[in-house]
Every structure is written in structure tokens, then in C-alpha cells.
Amino acid sequence: MTTWKERLKDEIPLEMAKLIDTYEAQMSLRQQGKMDEKVFAEARLRKGVYGQRYDNGQRHDGVRTQALAYPSEDIVKGPDTLWDAPGMQRIKIPYGGLSARQLDVLSELADEYADGILHITTRQDIQLHYVHIDDTPDLMRRLAAVGITTQEACGNSVRNITACSLAGVCHDEAFDVSPYADAMTQFLLAHDDVQDFGRKFKVAFSGCAGQACGLVKMHDLGLLAQSREVAGELQRGFTVFVGGGLGTVPHQAKALADFVTPEQLLPLTQAIARVFARLGEKKNRNRARLKFLVAKLGIDEFRSLVEAELAALPHDPRHTAYLDNVRDFVYEPAKAGLQLNGAPLPEGFDEWYRSNVYRQVQAGYSVVTLHTPLGDFTAQQGFQLADIARKYVGDNIRLTVEQNIVLRWVADADLPALCRDLRKIGLGDAHAGSIVDITTCPGTDTCKLGIASSRGLTAELRTRLIERINLLPDAVRELKIKVSGCFNSCGQHHVADIGFFGNSRRSGNHKLPHFQVVLGGQWQQNAGNYGLAVGAVPAKTVPAVLAALTERYVAERAEDQNFQSWVKQLGRKEIKAMLKPFMQLPTFEDNPAFFSDWGDSRVYTIEDIGVGECAGEVVSLFSMEISKAESTHFEALLALDDGDFRRADERAYRAMVLAARALVRTKYLDVGDDNDRIVNEFRERFYDTELVYDRFAKGKFARYLFKRHAGQPSLLDEDYAHQIIDETQLFIENIHSAEQRINGVIVA
Amino acid sequence: MQTVPKRLAMKLNLARAPQLQPADIVPIFQRWIQQRTVPGLLIDVIDYKHVPDGPGVVLVADEADYAWDLGAGQAGLRYIRKRALPDDLSAALRLCWAGALAAAQALEAEAPGDIVFDYQLVEISYLDRLQYPNDRQVAATALAALATSLQEIFGTKLQLQRLHDDPRYLLAFHCVAGRSLADSLPSPARAD
Ligand code: HEM
Ligand code: SF4
């Protein structure tokens, strides 16, 4: 029986294939108990394979906590995370850009491996939920075959790089940031310098300062496009921001450099990554994001460290090689741009046009926004949308940070027909970007840290608001609502006009789901201001709270006064007073409905909250790298079982080189990936100095590597393959003990 | 003998639109978890009723999901067997039938007279594009094998029709019988 691995072997780029093979080998090692669970957890997260609620093997069913006895019992895929428990697969979609073919494949995977739903995240990713870990290698291969990777979608590394969904077609941008976001994605992916972070690292690009789309101010690294005139010529560059972030303690990013040229962009980023890897907090997970390092050092000190690092950076041709691609970066519209031509319009077209259509800077073309409720769409809609894209826009599809989809390069003349086609597949609703278009994190539905049901609340508010949308004044219609299930703010509630995040309160012996109300955050100006927390209300009162707030806003606002300014004017005290009546807690007997969450009939409990994996596992760089050597050794064993002795030899040799490299990198990060160089550095630093010597065998194990490095034997038979695999095993063991002797006890 | 697809789903459609709304299914499925009403390691309930023609409300279990499915605009019960499928196609079909039937009957008991299934029709899909890509040749072979197995299981001949010919869609068949399949072999208890 053929496998996806065989079927797709000619379609997957070699480097991607290797990364997936390594991960698959690590899975086997973990199942056999031969790989540390924390190291595996971090390796898994760096493949975008995330835990999900109830994966610790228990769930409260509303009456009692039930044990979930999964078949593979106590095999875990991370601390307290059971192997068979369904999980989430996050899939990186750099700057949200998708082709029709990619959308097809994502949809196929959703109905084969998940629950038939594709979920768009607040960082332009796609997530599939309820995926079994055993299916993840094939899932990754099928994605890789169409140029999509899940590498570093989660874990302590560089996450998906986001950018304005209007980049390239926008009236306000300095220039199109897409090719730069693309180049940075490629450059940083699996890069050596992004493997030793204490926490995740998020990058965003924006084409202008005034709009929201790029959200650069809330990112670890934000790049804002600027152009300036030098000797009569327009020069491109970026203002670089660092140390922004949401989470429990939101920080606005600080300007690191006013103008960085495209030639300097990647080296500067690499230097920042190095400083973060070297000096960022590794132990205290709550203070490990770059924002804390920048705050601790001060931006000036941080800047000089980065400058020093930059000066010492080894030359890399890739720093500038991408510039050719930037020059060649063009969009291919499916049709010629034609104005609307008086063809009959579908009913409700004007309304849809007002809210969902953006006139591109290119005459005759528009961007159309498709509103996906709660960020969800079905596999079937995915196929149908891919067809619609092919018909009207080709591959010009992007996901947005508001959990929507945009089709770009729609010929204006096609708008009425496109509107009709989108309605047929349930993606033609008006009011995109309005108050009904609520952003939400996964919350208690699937997130282990969820305290209240952000999706349940969003679904409820959405239904109620849609019913009344035509009665709402424009000032209310334009407001943005964003909901998170807890203080971690994955739903970006800090940057909404009206934000909510889940928490809980007690009444008698019972807990009630609550939402903290956060008002007056700013979406514009790249998330220029964070909102004000004004008090927590029971989840079930939120619709009433929303009504009270918006009614008062409409009644009291000065003409043209926006929500932020009105909130500021009203002040926290006054708003608190206004919310007070909603904060009264009923007893369970009086109003049991308050003791269940939205969309959930169970009596509310916080017992299901688990340990989230957002912070990944802090494992040393050495542990991560030596585990790759171990899984490569495992691949050699598999090759031996298959009778493929040539491959067994190649994998064993590679495993030894990787192990040597892991040790060398504890002293010399820049060793690179050239075998000769690695072996030389290893010899000089660890063998000649006898640091790697075993107490009894002395340098014997190290010499296994030297022997193989000197050349492949002429006869590659089974005996030889056995022997080199055994030697590799001993070599890896030797590296482990040497590392402990040299560097002291390491984490995990 | 045909290999068994990696995952196999069966959907039973409702005979007519019920009063009951998809939102009413959430508490029912949640109670099923409390009371272990249907077979399997029941994990959680997810609500996707906000997406049109989607999976509706899903009771997720380890081996199989039970969905109050709204696919193709037709409400029904879809049983999606994900793991631990027997090696033999007939055995796998029996297992899925038992699961689908158990859940359909349990749902009928929740709202007698309102929820009524049409047991003459079952929609079977192969969730395995590696072994069962949705092309004409594979479909023809699969259809023949499926027809034989179904006749053996139910003791009656079913009319089979391929659902989609778009290669991206799952290979799936409408299977129609001349009589209700509910009381033919096997009863849920015996099958699992
Ligand atoms: C301590 C733990 C966590 C923290 C501090 C955290 C923080 C954040 C923040 C601040 C964002 C969004 C905004 C941004 O920076 O662009 C985000 C994105 C997100 N988070 Fe979390 N999060 C945590 C755990 C989780 C967990 C356990 C889940 C559920 C599985 C989750 C799901 C998401 C999703 C779906 C996104 C959208 C993102 C993407 O595609 O990267 N987060 N997280
Ligand atoms: S905000 Fe909280 S509940 Fe929502 S996804 Fe993030 S960690 Fe989970």
C-alpha cells in the first residue's frame, strides 16, 4: 500500500521533507519513551501541533469530572498531554496569502483529518481542530506539496509573519510590503538564530502608519513601510518597532530605527533575534517575551546591543539576494480591470458594496471581503471559494487578522456576479468589518486556558446584532468588538472599541462565567492604543451591557466624536457606575442560567482549565538539537529495517554530524551547516582538548565520526550498516555526557 | 477484497424538517456524554451551526464523531468512524451502521414524533483520498464492492449512486434500499 510520503516524494522540497521526516521519527521515539516529553512537546509545537482542551484526560461533564481513558493510555505527547487526545494543527499562511490550489488542499485536509472546518486566526493562520497527532506528518506532507509549511507555527520561535491584507492594492501604503514579508518568512524559517528563544516572536509588516491593518505596534517586531527622497529618488525603507505585544501585560512597541533600507532589513532582524536569544528571559515564562527585555534594558541600551550584534554578524548572501524577487514581484489578475457597466445588480448589492468592497488603487479593480462567522468556514465552502477565486481573481486570496477572507483584483464589472456567487455559498453577507463582524479566540471550546466561552458569546452577540443591524445608527454599526476567553488576549480585545475577556466570579458555592469589559482600544494607527478595563460582568449580561453602552454612546456623543474619545471623556469611574447594576450576582437557585456559559448547557466550572502550551517548553538549544540527531539515528534504523543500507549509512553519518554540531553550538553558535567545518570545530574544541573524552574509552567514540567523515566505505552491506548505527548511538551518548560535564546540568 | 478506507462516514437523513433547532442538540449531546448514551469514548461537543451547510453540532469521540450534520442543506445524523476500523470492508460497514443507527434511534427518543429518520437511504463517504481518490475508475470499483457488502449486511439490494464527480470532494455514495434498513441486521448492541 502506498503512503503519502511516497506519493508526494517528488513534489515536496527536500528541506521541507527532511524536517517532516525528523518530526515523524521524533514521534516514534516519544512513543517508545526514548525522547524526553518536554523536548518532544517543544519539537511538536514548532511543527504547529498544539494541545487542546481535555487532553490531560479529564473533562467535567456538568455533573462530575469524567476520566477520558484514551487507548494509548499513559503515552504522552508532552507533560500531562495524552497522545490520543485530539489536538489543534496551526498552519502558517505568511501574510495571509493563499492560492486557489492551496485552499483546495487545506479544505481536503479539513474534512479528512479534522472536523470539516477551517478556522482563520487573528494572525492570518489557518487552524484545524480535533486532529489526531498520528495524522500530522501526512497532513504536513500534503501541505508541503503545495508550498505550505507548519514549521514554527507555534512554540518558542518566529510565528507567522503577518501583513496588511490590502498590501499592494492600498491607497495609503508607501509601497507593497508583501515581498518583504515573504522574504523574511523564507529567511527566518528554521533559521539557526531563531531556535533558542525563551518565548514566541511575532513579526508584522504594515504599509502605512495611519490604518490598522498591519498592527505593528502590538508585535515583537513591527516593520512600517516608509519612503523618502534621496537625491531626487524615492527610496524604500522601514521604521522598525520592537517590544510590542498584547497578553496580560500589553506593551506598545518602541521605535528602534527610523529608517532601515531593504538591504539592512534581514541582517537587522537577525541581530535582534540574536540579542533576544542571548539575553531574553528563559526561566520565568511570564516575562520572556521581547517586550520585557526591551523594557528592562531600555530602548537605547537594546539598540546598542543590536548594533553591536549587527556589526559582528557573519556575511550571508541571503541578506540581499531576495531583492531581485522584490523587483519581480507582480500580481496576476484573472481578468482585465473593467468598471461597473450598468448590468443589473442583485438585491442588497449597495449595502454589500458599501461594507465589503474596497476600491483598489489600480483602476477598475476592487478588493472584496468575505465575512466568515467566528473565523470558520467549511471544507465545502473552501472548494467552492477556490472555484470562485479561479473564475474571478486567480490566486489573489488573502486571510485577514479580523478572521475574514479577501479576494483581491476583482474586476469592478464582475462585482454583481461575484456577489451572487458568494451568496450561493454563504459567504456573501454584507457588514464585513462592522459591529457584527466580531473577532474571537478559540476560548473554552478548544483552548486549555479558556475561562469563559468567547466563541459562545460571539455567536450570541452576532445573532442578536444581525437581527437589528438595520436599526443601528452608523456610529454603532462601525464599532469593533473583539473577544478573548481569558486575559491572554489571543482575540486582541485590547485593540477593539469594545473588548471582552473571560474570567470568573463566585456566588455562594458556585462560579459564574464573567467577561471583563475593556473599552476604547484603538484599532487604527496600527493598534495605536490599548483599551481600559472597566469591570467584569456575568457572561449572560453581556448583551445587555453592550446595549446600554452603545445606547448611551449614541445619546451622548458629540457629533463626529468617536468611541475612544467618548470613553475617555466619560472616565473609568462613570463607566464603572454604569456597569454596576449588571454586576449583581444572582444565587444559583434564583437564576441558574447565569451559572452556565453561552452555548453550553453544563453547569459552569473552571476545573477544566489546564496548562496552556503557548509558552512552549523551555528546553535548551542543545536538547532540541541533540534530539534531531537522535531522530536522524532512528531514521537510520528504519532504513536498515528496509534493507536500504546506503540510506542507513547516510542517516547515521548525518546523525553524528548533527550531534557534534549540537555540542559545538553550545560554544560557537555560528558554526553553520558545512560538514567539514563542523567536524573541524568539533575536533579542535572538544577532541584535541580532550573535553569529549570518555573516562574509559577516551577518544574512541569521537573517532567514529572522524572515521566516517574521512570517507564512505566501498562496501555498504548489512553488517556495515549495523556497525555504523551502533557507533552512532555510542557517539550520541558520548556527546550527551560530554555536554553535561562541560556545561553543567541542563534543563530537560 | 477492497481495502478499508482510513475513515468511513455514514449519514442518515431526517425524513422531514423537525421543530427542534440545531441549538437544541447541544444540551442533548452534552447529556449523552454524562449518561454515555452512545458507544465510544465521548469527549466533547462542538457547535458549528453558525456555518451554513456545515457539520452542525458534533459530539466528538475518540473512535468516531456523531454529528447533527447540516451538509448539503439536509439535516441528518452523520457517524464518522475515525479510528479502529476493522480490516474487512463489510465489518467496517457493520460497525459504522451500528454507530449511526444507535445515535439516530437515541435522537428519535429525544423528540418522539419530531425527529424521524429516513432509514431507506444512507450516504456513505470514504475519507481517504490516498486509497480512494474520487475518480471514475476508483468509484466504479468501490461502488461494486460496496454494493456487494451492503447486500450481504442488509439482505437486500441497494441502489448506489456516486454523489460528486469533482475529484476534490470525498468519494461518496447515496445508497437507497426498497425498505427500511433500521430493523435489519445488525442491532447496535451486537455490532460493536
Ligand atoms: C499563556 C498562554 C498564551 C498567551 C500569552 C497567548 C497570547 C496570544 C496573543 C497575545 C495573541 C494575539 C495577538 C497577537 O500577538 O497577534 C495570540 C494569538 C493566538 N492564540 Fe494565544 N496565547 C496563549 C495561549 C493560547 C492557547 C492555549 C491557545 C489555544 C489553543 C491560543 C490560541 C491562539 C490563537 C488561535 C491565536 C491567533 C493566532 C495565530 O495564528 O498565531 N493561545 N495568543
Ligand atoms: S485568550 Fe485565553 S482562552 Fe483565548 S485562546 Fe488565548 S489563552 Fe485561550
Task: Please name the residue of chain A whose CA is at the shortest distance from the CA of residue B133.
Answer: A108
Distances (CA, A) of A129 to A24, A92, A424, A446, A736: 20, 15, 26, 8, 37
Fold of A4-144: Alpha-Beta Plaits (3.30.70)
Is the distance from CB of A514 to CB of A534 less than 8 angstroms?
no
Q: Is the CB of A600 less than 8 angstroms away from the CB of B30?
A: yes
| CB-nearest partner of A54 from B44, B48, B65 | B44
Nearest to B51 among A3, A111, A117 (CB): A117
Q: How far is residue A574's CA from residue A563's CA, in Å, rounded to a whole number?
A: 15
pLDDT bracket for residue B1 (50, 70, 90): low
Residues of chain B with Cβ-Cβ distance to A62 below 8 Å are 30, 34
- In tens, the pLDDT along B81-91 reads 999 999 999 99
Residues of chain B with C-beta less than 8 angstroms from the C-beta of A59: 33, 43-44
A117:B48 CB<8 A: yes
- Tell me which of A378, A384, A598 to substitute to probe the interface with B (most B C-beta atoms closer than 10 Å): A378
pLDDT for the residue A523: 80
Q: Nearest by CB to A115, which of B46, B128, B168?
A: B46
Closest CA to A227 of A210, A246, A241, A207: A207
Amino acid at B41: L
Amino acid making up residue A424: K
What tens digit of pLDDT does each residue of A468-519 get? 999 999 999 999 999 999 998 999 999 999 999 999 998 888 999 999 999 9
> Quick one: pLDDT at residue A620?
86
CATH label, A349-424, candidates 3.90.1150.10, 3.30.70.3340, 3.40.50.1220, 3.40.50.300:
3.30.70.3340
Q: What is the pLDDT of residues A588-634, one digit of tens each?
A: 999 999 999 999 999 999 888 888 777 677 788 898 899 999 999 98
Nearest CB neighbour to A4, from listed B26, B52, B130: B130
- Give residue for cell 528546553: A619
- Rounded to whole angstroms, the Cα distance separating A510 from A136 reads 40
* CA of residue A129 to ligand 2 center, whole Å: 15
CA A52 to ligand 2 centroid distance, Å: 11
Name the 3-class secondary structure at A521.
coil
The pLDDT of residue B116 is: 97
N- to C-terminal Cα distance for chain A? 39
Distance of CA A452 from the midpoint of ligand 2 (Å): 9
DSSP state of A581: G
**3 state DSSP class of A175:** coil
Quick one: which of A189, A109, A129, A186 has its CA closest to A157?
A189
pLDDT-derived band of residue B185, with 50, 70 and 90 as boundaries? low
Nearest to A25 by CA among A654, A633, A631: A631
Q: What is the pLDDT of residue A397?
A: 98
CA of A182 from ligand 1 middle (Å) equals 22
Question: Which residue has cell 438595520?
Answer: A470
Q: For chain A, what is the total number of helices (H) and then of strands (E)?
A: 24, 24
Please give the grid coordinates belonging to residue B6: 482510513
Report phi then psi at A566, rounded to 5.
-65, -40
> CA-CA distance, A309 to B76, in Å (whole number)?
62
**Residues of chain B positioned with their CB less than 8 A from the CB of A459:** 47, 50
What angle is formed at CA A296 by the lines to CA A295 and CA A299, rounded to 5 degrees? 55
d(CA A677, CA A669): 13
CB B184 within 8 A of CB B154: yes
pTM given for the model: 0.92
Q: How distant, in Å, are the alpha carbons of A197, A342, A394, A441 from that of A412?
A: 47, 11, 15, 34
| Distance of residue B110 Cα from the nearest chain A Cα, in angstroms | 16
Nearest ligand, CA A451? 2
Q: Find the range with the poorest average confidence among A235-239, A300-304, A375-379, A607-611.
A: A607-611
Provide, as residue numbers in chain A, all residues whose Cβ is less than 8 Å from the Cβ of B6. Answer: 112
- Amino acid in the structure at residue A452: A
The alpha carbon of A426 is separated from its chain's Cα centroid by a whole number of angstroms, namely 27
**DSSP string of A47-91, one letter each residue:** TTEE--TTTTSEEE-SSSEEE---TTTT-EEETTEETTS-EEEEE
Non-local (6+) Cβ contacts of A190 within 8 A are A15, A19, A151, A152
At residue A526 the predicted structure's pLDDT band, cuts being 50, 70 and 90, is: low
Q: Give me the residue spans of the domains in chain A.
A: 4-144, 170-328, 349-424, 439-595, 621-747
B184 belongs to a structural domain: no
Greatest C-alpha distance within chain A: 89
Please give the mean pLDDT across all residues of chain A.
Answer: 93
Taking the C-alpha atoms of residue A514 and residue A598, their distance in angstroms, rounded to an integer, is 11
Least confident segment among A98-112, A341-355, A407-421, B102-116: A341-355
The model's confidence at residue A748, banded by pLDDT at 50, 70 and 90, is: very low
Q: Helix (H, G, I), strand (E, B), or coil: what is residue A469?
A: helix
Position B185 in a domain:
no
Q: Which atom of ligand 2 is nearest to the CA of A447?
A: 8
Shortest CA distance to B72 belongs to which of A127, A373, A426, A421? Answer: A426
Q: Is the pLDDT of residue B186 over 60?
A: no
* Ligand closest in space to the Cα of A250: 1
Identify the pLDDT of residue B187: 47
Number of domains composing chain B: 1
Percent of chain A whose pLDDT exceeds 70: 99
Structure confidence by residue, pLDDT tens digits, B167-176: 999 999 999 9
State which amino acid sits at residue A26. Answer: Q
Q: Looking at the domain assignment, is residue B190 inside a domain?
A: no
Closest CA to A665 of A739, A745, A744: A739
Are residues B168 and A129, on separate chains, in Cβ contact within 8 Å? no
Q: What distance in Å separates the CA atoms of residue A463 and residue A3, rounded to the nearest whole number?
A: 44
Q: Confirm whether B81 is domain-assigned.
A: yes
Tell me which amino acid residue A529 is: N
At A746, the pLDDT band (50, 70, 90 cuts) reads: very low
Please report where in the chains the cell 488603487 appears, as a residue.
Answer: A361
Asked if the structure places residue B183 within a domain, the reply is: no
- Domain assignment present for residue B42? The answer is yes
Question: Could you tell me the pLDDT band of residue A67, with boundaries at 50, 70 and 90?
Answer: very high
Q: What pLDDT does residue A744 have?
A: 67
- Report the alpha-carbon distance of residue A55 to residue A83 in Å, rounded: 8
* Binary contact (B55, A601; C-beta < 8 A): no
The binding-site residues of ligand 2, defined as CB within 6 angstroms of any ligand atom, are A 441-443, 447, 449-450, 454, 484-486, 488-491, 612
| A520: CB partners within 8 A, 6+ apart | A497, A529, A531, A532, A563, A564, A566, A567, A568
> pLDDT band for position A429 (50/70/90)?
very high
Fold of A621-747: Four Helix Bundle (Hemerythrin (Met), subunit A) (1.20.120)
d(CA A587, CA A595): 9
Contact A725, A637 (CB under 8 A): yes
CA of A517 to the centre of ligand 1 (A): 19
Retrieve residue A91's grid coordinates.
498552519
DSSP assigned state of A607: T
Nearest CA in chain B to A596: B27
Per the CB < 8 Å rule, is B84 touching A71? yes
Q: Using the beta-carbon criterion (under 8 Å), do A68 and B48 form an inter-chain contact?
A: no
**Domain A439-595 carries which CATH code?**
3.30.413.10
In whole angstroms, what separates CA A599 from the centre of its chain? 27
Task: Tell me if A477 sits within 8 A of A469, measured CB to CB.
Answer: yes
Q: Count CA within 13 A, CB hemisphere, residue A537.
A: 24
Contact A383 B166 (CB under 8 A): yes
Q: CA-CA distance, B111 to A232, in Å (whole number)? A: 77
What is d(CA A356, CA A366) in angstroms, rounded to the nearest whole number? 10
CA distance B140 to chain A (A): 20
Domain for residue B2, yes or no?
no
> How many Å apart are CA B89 and CA B126, to the nearest integer?
11
Q: How far is the CA of A160 from the centre of ligand 1 (A)?
A: 12
Asked, for residue B182, whether it belongs to a domain, the answer is: no
Contact A53 B41 (CB under 8 A): no
User: Hey, what's the cell of A514?
Assistant: 464573567
How many residues appear in chain B?
192
ipTM of the complex: 0.96
Identify the three-state secondary structure at position A626.
Answer: helix
Rounded to a whole number of angstroms, the distance from the CA of B37 to the nearest CA of chain A is 13
Fold of the CATH domain A170-328: Sulfite Reductase Hemoprotein; domain 1 (3.30.413)
* CB distance A178 to A163 below 8 Å: yes
Place of cell 530537560: A748
Whether the predicted pLDDT of B191 surpasses 70: no
* Mean pLDDT of the region A48-76: 93
Find the Cα–Cα–Cα–Cα dihedral A192, A195, A201, A202, rounded to 10°. 50
> Over 80: is that where the pLDDT of A213 sits?
no
Pocket of ligand 1 (CB under 6 A): A 50, 88, 121-123, 125, 127, 159-160, 202, 218, 246-247, 441-442, 446-449, 488-490, 492, 612-615
d(CA A172, CA A459): 33
Cα–Cα distance list, A313 to A275, A531, A666 (Å): 12, 39, 18
pLDDT at B12 over 90: yes
Per-residue HEC secondary structure of A143-162 comes to HHCCCCCCCCCCCCCECCCE
Q: Which of B43, B53, B69, B134 to mutate to test the interface with A (most CBs of A within 10 A)?
A: B43
CB-based contact A132 B83, cutoff 8 Å: yes
SS3 letters for A641-702?
Answer: HCCCHHHHHHHHHHHHHHHHHHHHCCCCHHHCCCHHHHHHHHHHHHHCCCCCCECCCECHHH
Domain A170-328 and domain A439-595 have a common topology: yes
> Which pairing describes strands A76-78 and A97-98: parallel, antiparallel, or unpaired?
unpaired
- What does the alpha-carbon distance between residue B51 and residue A376 come to, in Å, rounded to a whole number? 7
Domain that holds residue B16: 8-176
Tell me, letter by letter, the H, E, C secondary structure of A201-221: ECEEEECCCCCCCCCHHHCCE
The set of residues, in sequence order, having a beta carbon less than 8 Å from that of A715 and lying 6+ positions away, is none
Give residue A338's pLDDT.
85
Which of A282-286, A424-428, A560-564 shows the lowest mean pLDDT across its residues? Answer: A282-286
The model's confidence at residue A109, banded by pLDDT at 50, 70 and 90, is very high
CA of A614 to the centre of ligand 1 (A): 7
